[in-house]
Amino acid sequence: VSMALRKAIETASLQLGWESYIPKMAYTTDNAAMVAIVGYYKFLAGDFATQDVVPYARQA
């Protein structure tokens, strides 16, 4: 995430009373863009999880 985008998210979060978390730059490489585009298309399609969804994390 670019520094300008980070700042915009921080500013909007403060104005709207949202809590936001942006990982350190070291953790925002190619994979972040791939995950973001999937999220974008799921959002456009209205494909949302329910609030009772159980997270599943796997380790390689």
pLDDT value for 46: 95
pLDDT value for 19: 92
Q: Are 11 and 22 in contact (CB under 8 A)?
A: no
Residue found under tokens 């863009």: 33
pLDDT value for 1: 54
Other CB atoms within a 10 A radius of the CB of residue 25 amount to: 11
pLDDT value for 60: 61
- CA-CA distance, 49 to 39, in Å (whole number)? 12
**Predicted structure pTM score:** 0.42
Q: Are 47 and 53 in contact (CB under 8 A)?
A: no
Render pLDDT for 19-44 as a digit per residue (tens, 0 to 9): 998 888 777 777 777 888 899 999 99
